[in-house]
Amino acid sequence: MLPSTHRIGQSYRIQQILRRGLFFRSFSFQAKLLTSNEAHNRFALIVSKKTAKKAVIRNRIRRRLDEAVRKCIHAPSSTCYDIVILARSEALTTEFSRLVEEILTLLKTIDRSPPSHG
């Protein structure tokens, strides 16, 4: 599980990110993000019933993404963001190393071209 300092706990903030956030897509997930006033990146993971009908599978996807994000939370970045990751069903079968690589790619991409709103 992610440390509480790296989680977005407020549902209103998650809704705000989903409505106004910058969109990023990868093979295993989609992400929406907004700039943050925090000292580090914060994450929220969403695995919907549309992704997987069974709770066991949704939980496995959530645990895999959670661990991949945990490995990447200390990646250096010039600006901090609140990032909501929307899982896709491919996250279950994708190799774990690729999941980590996709999250690092997300962080590098947003660091190169930061969003202008927040």
Whole-angstrom Cα distance, residue 82 to residue 17?
Answer: 8
Provide the edge-to-edge strand list for the sheet that holds 42-46: 22-25, 29-35, 81-87, 42-46
Residues 14-25 have a mean pLDDT of 94
Residue 34 has pLDDT above 80, yes or no: yes
What six digits make up the tokens of 111?
């660091």
Domains of the chain in start order, with CATH, are 4-112 (3.30.230.10)
Q: Confidence class of residue 39 from pLDDT cuts 50, 70 and 90?
A: confident
pLDDT at 38 over 90: no
